[in-house]
């Protein structure tokens, strides 16, 4: 019996098959697959010389950059598992994840190294220091074949408990995700994907994976700037871009200011990170922007359900249909629901994570018989289109970042003067949603004090935009917090 | 741990995702994926009512037709393994394969049913009879998910021993083959593949698989006619076509007669079935025909190495580079060869067959550590392009059909007056190669008698185009027949 789950190292195979094609363009720099492979091979030699072992968990903390891309591939070359850290996290949050993941080394963009140096048990190495290391002499034993069932990356997501969990993504999860996207969007000769979403999120990382699997050029940007993005779409004849609603809104605003539009080469604007406002979809339609809404999560290695642009208005509010090898069903009380009946959204397929790092209980409760229990609520219409009604565990999606109320609540509750805390999302024109907090205080304290307290422990995008002092929180009969009723407290409530 | 080797039933998923797209066009008939699924579901009900069991081997003997396509998919719906029979074989050859594969039912195109009725232990059912069966009432338990490691089809190929062997092709072999082709040729929105090669060969069957996996229209033809093919390429805006050299030659001849050319929509002419003559490639270049030469075999579920059209002349004679998830190496005496050094061609990857049906010895000697020993001789140049020097086991390729000398020799040797027999390929303007035979006779017999004897046992394309009577055959020190020296006997030799 053959092992059908082994494929050649993706970048090495690309460097062999299509060496002269452009792999990466960032600013003025363009790198072919052959050049990228050579750089990565050197980097793998450095990582090896540093003592990184096959199978070790290695964290990477960086904004999008060519160095980061080289390091991400190099970690695959030496068979390490990459833990991707969100640059927006506080030092405390980072340290927690680094410790939880049993990380040996943290490879950090030099400007951010100070934040961690001397504070972590893991060895912290800045990119600058890394590039001065002499690569290992002699032939390097790089991983020439990837086993699709082996872990490749770990990304942390928060959940109901307040503590983030590391989602394990295998080589197969990433591979099948790229293939599923290709079977939906096609692979055209002139394809070029613009990455202005961060590589530490699966929306960004999946673009890098597609690049080496398809042999496709990726235009990389560090962070999002509507003007730069719009310029690159034209100059580089970008065909596909991944965005969240707030980005697309800014891109359209900028277009309108200039009175310009996109060239027909832009064939797909993949819109993720939560439901899109109707006005945004209508604006896009008016400007002939081909928006493909998509639903996915870290646990499904990016998009798993996508709505073709031809349906963006006729199936308004829908996330679309599954990718070719994925399945979706709606379950309520263990019973599969009929069309139009809401229930929990379950997802199955080869892009679904094998589980959470070191969390057998969470894995067991999320993954049953191959089905991922997303915690999200939705339904399928008669044509099989998915509609997402409520995001999992009261998830707040703010500018594409996932924020879990429980995580903010647990920080608030750790303050000695806070008796009870409830957090929910409030609509926001720019970000889609922002978190707001409701607290029951033991003794009066200032808003500044509480915000400063949170600021130590929470990334900025997670900080409540307002904190309201109330006498009690809405709870059900079993005393469970009813977050969906929090906003109704706002009438007659004073902020702290 | 997830089972990553399970994907939804391909056609059912297509009928769900893209119901209104055209799946098949043949003559005046066009069928959407939704319609095809409904037809196939009905057919699955008939097959079930007939008593076909999950896991049974069921043979299909048919020229390309919509009925055949429905039956091929329906067999997957009920979980049977399909044994594809070559319509060009004699009754004796067919009966041998039917018996060898332990087939329960043979489903036969009605015009060919007589040939087998009453002669086989398997139940022979004509398509006409099949379509009159009442489908099973009530809900049918169709296979909704395909396990990629399960056998899907069996195709017979001959070999050194003279007896054909059944190559097992799994669902995964076909799936990965489609994906590998997509990662090489792309999947464009307007893609439409013309199938004028038979579905009982992997070159044809793989087009049907791509159709349901990509959601792509296939224009089907029963047999090859240059004029019809050329007309359909224009009328249907065909983008890809699979051909062998002799077909392409006739297509170009026909074009030239009309003084016409192909529209730019034709983006790939996939040229398989043996090496292409230089003049044909040059003619194609002159007429802007984008020829992609390819190397593959039944054991690799079609193409495994392909040469992009941009290299068709600069890398003349090369079969190209492997598909993305496939690997090729050259081995001589168990040692991997350097560039430019010839040896046996080994292939590895998820499209490689899991083995030969009921032939553990042949499987063991062909498949070692995941590598398929093709028996073909070739080398890789400094850029990693594969050059095939000699086809396996003295293989003769005639008009795209594989012919093994040993099979013809064993038929000749079974005649009482033939003492020794040797068969080899001779160059032929139309077919590329044709088989010719050399015999040492015990007593003189007529050519007609010997040809009639062969005609009973061998498909027409395998019949020697000439039979030469000689006094001895070239043999080496260990008395092994040296087929490559046979043609040199022609000087001063009389045909029988």
Write the pLDDT tens digit of every residue in B330-372. Answer: 998 889 999 999 899 999 999 999 999 999 999 999 999 999 9
What confidence score (pLDDT) does residue A19 get?
96
Q: Compute the average pLDDT of residues A263-279.
A: 89
Residue A402 banded pLDDT, cuts 50, 70, 90? confident
Cα atoms in the 13 Å half-sphere on the side-chain side of A393: 16
Q: CB distance B352–A2 less than 8 Å?
A: yes
Alpha-carbon distance B51 to nearest alpha carbon in chain A (angstroms): 30
Which residue did the predictor score with more confidence, A221 or A475? A221
A121 has pLDDT over 60: yes
Answer yes or no: is pLDDT of B390 > 90. Answer: no
Handedness of CA B470, B476, B482, B484 (dihedral sign): negative
Domain spanning B6-389, CATH class? alpha beta
Residue B480 has pLDDT above 50, yes or no: yes
Kindly state the percentage of chain B with pLDDT values over 70: 96
Between these two residues, B14 and A333, which has the higher pLDDT value?
A: B14
Restricting to B residues 345-404, those with a Cβ less than 8 Å away from any Cβ of A are: 349-350, 352, 354-355, 367, 370, 384
| C-alpha of A480 from chain center | 29
Q: How confident is the model at residue B180 (pLDDT cuts 50, 70, 90)?
A: very high
- In percent, the amount of chain B with pLDDT more than 90 equals 74
For B188, which of A8, A170, A188 is closest by C-beta distance? A188
Q: What is the pLDDT of residue A397?
A: 86
Q: Which of A479, A415, A462 is nearest to A164 (CA)?
A: A462
pLDDT at A494 exceeding the cut of 60? no
Helices A245-258 & A278-286 angle (0-180, nearest 10)? 40
Position A399 pLDDT exceeds 90 = no
Spatial distance between the Cα atoms of A492 and A253, rounded to a whole number of angstroms = 36
Query: Could you tell me which residue, B476 or B257, shows the higher pLDDT?
Result: B257
Pick the more confident residue, A138 or A197: A197
**pLDDT value at residue B1:** 46
Query: Does the pLDDT at position A1 exceed 50?
Result: no
Residue A5 with chain B: CB contacts under 8 Å: 4-5, 350
Q: What is the pLDDT of residues A160-181, one digit of tens each?
A: 566 789 999 999 999 999 999 9
Residue A323, classed as helix, strand or coil, is: coil
Find, in chain A, the residue whose alpha carbon is nearest to that of B384.
A16
Percent of chain A with pLDDT over 70: 96
DSSP A86: P
Chain-chain contact of A8 with B324 (C-beta, under 8 angstroms): yes
Q: What is the CA radius of gyration of chain A?
A: 23
B97-108 pLDDT per residue, tens: 999 999 999 999
Q: Does B162 have pLDDT greater than 60?
A: yes
Q: Could you give phi then psi for residue B290, rounded to 5 degrees?
A: -80, 90
- Residue in A1, A176, A186 closest to B189 by CB: A186
CB within 8 Å: B8 and A148: no
Q: What average pLDDT does chain A have?
A: 92
Work out the average pLDDT over B371-391. 91
Phi, psi dihedrals of residue B235, rounded to the nearest 5°: -65, -40
Model pLDDT, residue A161: 60
CATH number, domain A395-495, options 3.30.300.30, 3.20.20.70, 3.40.50.300, 3.40.250.10:
3.30.300.30
Domain ranges of chain A: 6-389, 395-495
Q: How far is B473 from chain A (nearest CA, A)?
A: 40
Q: Nearest-CA residue of chain B relative to A170?
A: B4
Q: Are B410 and B439 in contact (CB under 8 A)?
A: no
CB atoms within 10 A of CB A259: 6
Backbone phi, psi, residue A102, to 5°? 55, 45
Distance CA B371, CA A466 (A): 63
User: Which residues are registered as beta bridge partners of B343?
Assistant: B378
Residue B442: CB atoms within 10 A of its CB come to 12
* Top-tier CATH class for B395-490: alpha beta
Q: How far apart, in whole angstroms, are the C-alpha atoms of residue A365 and residue A184? A: 30
When the pLDDT of each residue in chain B is averaged and rounded to a whole number, the result is: 92
- For residue B370, which residues of chain A lie inside 8 Å, CB to CB? 2-3, 6
Q: State residue A163 phi and psi, 5-degree precision.
A: -90, 130
Is the pLDDT confidence value at A124 over 70? yes
Position B393 scores a pLDDT of 66
Across the interface, whether the CB atoms of B183 and A367 are under 8 A apart is answered no
Mean of pLDDT values over A48-59: 96
Q: What pLDDT is stored for residue B375 in this prediction?
A: 87
Is B14 in contact with B147 (CB distance < 8 Å)? no
Q: In which element (H, E) is residue B283 found?
A: helix B278-286
| pLDDT at position A204 | 96
Give the closest residue to B289 by CA, choosing from B314, B307, B308, B264: B264
For range A182-200, the mean pLDDT: 96
Does the pLDDT value for residue B46 go beyond 60?
yes
Cα angle at B190 between B187 and B192, to 5 degrees? 80
Token representation of residue A122: 């893991």
The answer to whether the CB atoms of A324 and B13 lie below 8 A apart is: yes
- Strand A396-398 and strand A401-403: the pairing is antiparallel
User: Predicted confidence band at A350 (pLDDT cuts at 50, 70, 90)?
Assistant: very high
Q: How far apart are CA A9 and CA A147, in angstroms?
A: 9
| Number of Cβ within a 10 Å radius of residue B314 | 9
Interface contact B354-A1, CB threshold 8 A: yes
Q: Are residues B408 and B464 in contact, defined by beta-carbon separation less than 8 angstroms?
A: yes
Cβ-based neighbours of A74, under 8 Å, separated by 6 or more: A40, A41, A43, A44, A46, A47
**Residue whose structure tokens are 């394990």:** A168
Q: Read off the pLDDT of residues B433-469 as tens digits, 9 standing for 90 and up.
A: 999 999 999 899 988 899 999 998 899 999 999 999 9
What would the mean pLDDT of B108-135 be, rounded to a whole number?
A: 95
Question: φ and ψ at B8, to 5 degrees?
Answer: -60, 150
Q: How far is B188 from chain A (nearest CA, A)?
A: 6
The answer to which of A292-296, B213-217, B486-490 has the lowest mean pLDDT is B486-490
- Residue A125 has φ and ψ, to the nearest 5°, of -125, 120
What mean pLDDT is predicted for residues B243-251? 92
CB B79 within 8 A of CB B140: no
Tokens 């469970």: give the residue: A480
Is the CB of residue A291 less than 8 Å from the CB of residue A314? no
Buried b (16+ CB within 10 A) or exposed e, A188-197: beebbbbbbb
Mutate to test the interface with A, among B4, B20, B144, B186 (most CBs of A within 10 A): B4
Digit-coded pLDDT (tens) for B191-211: 999 999 999 999 999 999 999
Nearest to B466, CA basis, from B496, B489, B492 = B496
What SS3 class is residue B15? helix
Per the model's pLDDT, the better-predicted residue between B167 and B278 turns out to be B167
Is residue A3 less than 8 Å (CB to CB) from chain B?
yes
* Structure confidence by residue, pLDDT tens digits, A372-392: 999 888 999 999 999 988 776
pLDDT, average across residues A334-355: 94
Per the DSSP assignment, residues forming a β-bridge with B116 are none
Predicted local confidence at residue A193, as pLDDT? 98
* CA distances from residue B386 to B295, B346, B382, B417 in whole angstroms, order as listed: 9, 11, 10, 44
- C-alpha B482/C-alpha B1 separation (Å) is 54
Question: What are the DSSP E strand ranges found in B268-385?
Answer: 268-272, 291-297, 302-307, 318-322, 327-332, 335-336, 343-348, 355-356, 367-368, 371-380
| Distance of alpha carbon B450 from alpha carbon A340, whole angstroms | 72
Residue B219, strand partner residues:
B25, B194
CA–CA distance, B160 with B276 (Å, rounded to integer)? 24
Helices first, then strands: H and E counts in chain B: 13, 29
Determine phi and psi for B269, rounding to 5 degrees: -105, 105
Q: How confident is the model at residue B493, as a pLDDT?
A: 59
CB A471 within 8 A of CB A440: yes
Chain A window 323-342: which residues touch B at a Cβ cutoff of 8 Å? 324-325, 327
Q: Which of B2, B149, B325 minimises the CB distance to A352? A: B2
Residue in B350, B7, B355 with CA at minimum distance from that of residue B173: B350
Burial zone of B39 (CB within 10 Å; 0-12 exposed, 13-18 middle, 19+ buried): middle
Closest CA to A46 of A173, A153, A135: A135
Question: Any residues with CB less than 8 A from the CB of A226 and at least 6 apart, and which?
Answer: A247, A250, A251, A253, A254
Complex ipTM, two decimals? 0.87
Give the long-range contacts of residues A471-474, CB within 8 A, separation 24 or more: A471/A440, A472/A420, A472/A440, A473/A420, A473/A421, A473/A422, A473/A438, A473/A440, A474/A422
Q: Is the pLDDT at B8 greater than 80, yes or no? A: yes
Is a pLDDT exceeding 80 seen at residue A393? no
Helical H segments across B382-435, by residue range: 405-413
Task: Inspect the interface and report whether the beta carbons of A149 and B325 lie closer than 8 Å.
Answer: no
Q: Degrees (nearest 5) of the Cα angle A239, A244, A248?
A: 65
> What pLDDT sits at residue A235?
96
Residue B37 confidence (pLDDT) above 90: yes
pLDDT (average), residues A188-204: 96
Model confidence at B239: pLDDT above 50: yes
pLDDT confidence bin for A476, thresholds 50/70/90? confident
DSSP B354: -
Q: Which two tokens stand for residue A325?
A: 């090898």
pLDDT reported for residue B238 = 98
Cα–Cα distance for residue pair B299/A267, rounded to 1 Å: 38
């Amino acid at each position: 019996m053959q092992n059908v789950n082994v494929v050649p190292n993706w970048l090495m195979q690309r460097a062999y098959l299509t060496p002269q094609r452009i792999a990466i363009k960032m600013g003025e720099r363009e790198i072919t697959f052959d050049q990228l492979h050579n750089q990565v091979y050197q980097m793998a030699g450095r990582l090896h010389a540093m003592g990184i072992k096959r199978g070790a968990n290695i964290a990477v903390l960086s904004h999008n950059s060519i160095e980061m891309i080289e390091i991400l591939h190099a970690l695959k070359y030496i068979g390490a598992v990459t833990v991707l850290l969100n640059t927006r996290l506080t030092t405390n949050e980072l340290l927690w994840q680094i410790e939880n993941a049993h990380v040996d080394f943290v490879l950090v963009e030099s400007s951010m190294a100070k934040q961690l140096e001397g504070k972590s048990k893991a060895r912290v190495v800045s990119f600058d220091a890394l590039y001065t290391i002499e690569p290992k002499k002699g032939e390097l034993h790089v991983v020439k074949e990837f086993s699709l069932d082996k872990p490749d990356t770990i990304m942390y997501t928060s959940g109901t408990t307040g503590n983030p969990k590391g989602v394990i993504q295998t080589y197969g999860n990433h591979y099948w995700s790229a293939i599923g996207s290709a079977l939906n969007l096609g692979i055209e000769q002139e394809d070029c994907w613009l990455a202005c979403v961060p590589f530490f999120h699966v929306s960004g990382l999946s673009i890098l994976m597609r690049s080496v699997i398809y042999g496709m050029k990726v235009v990389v940007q560090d962070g999002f700037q509507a003007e730069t993005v719009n310029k690159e779409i034209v100059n580089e004849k970008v065909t596909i871009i991944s965005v969240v609603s707030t980005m697309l809104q800014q891109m359209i605003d900028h277009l309108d200011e200039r009175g310009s539009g996109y060239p027909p080469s832009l064939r797909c604007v993949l819109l993720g990170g939560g439901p899109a406002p109707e006005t945004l979809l209508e604006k896009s339609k008016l400007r002939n922007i081909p928006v493909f809404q998509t639903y996915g999560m870290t646990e499904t290695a990016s998009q798993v359900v996508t709505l073709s642009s031809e349906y963006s208005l006729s199936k308004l509010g829908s996330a679309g249909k599954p990718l070719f090898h994925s399945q979706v069903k709606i379950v309520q009380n263990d019973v599969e629901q009929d069309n139009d009946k809401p229930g929990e959204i379950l997802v199955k397929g080869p892009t679904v994570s094998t589980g959470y790092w070191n969390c057998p209980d969470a894995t067991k409760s999320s993954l049953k018989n191959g089905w991922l229990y997303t915690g999200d609520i939705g339904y399928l219409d008669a044509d099989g289109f998915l509609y997402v009604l409520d995001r999992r565990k009261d998830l707040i999606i703010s500018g594409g970042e996932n924020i879990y109320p429980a995580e903010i609540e647990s920080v608030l509750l750790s303050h000695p003067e806070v008796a009870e805390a409830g957090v929910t999302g409030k609509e926001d024109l720019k970000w889609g949603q922002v978190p707001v907090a409701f607290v029951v205080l033991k003794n009066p304290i200032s808003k500044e004090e509480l915000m400063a307290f949170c600021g130590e422990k929470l990334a900025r995008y997670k900080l409540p935009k307002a904190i309201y002092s109330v006498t009690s929180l809405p709870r059900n009969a079993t005393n469970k917090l009813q977050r969906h009723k929090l906003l109704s407290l706002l009438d007659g409530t004073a902020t702290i």
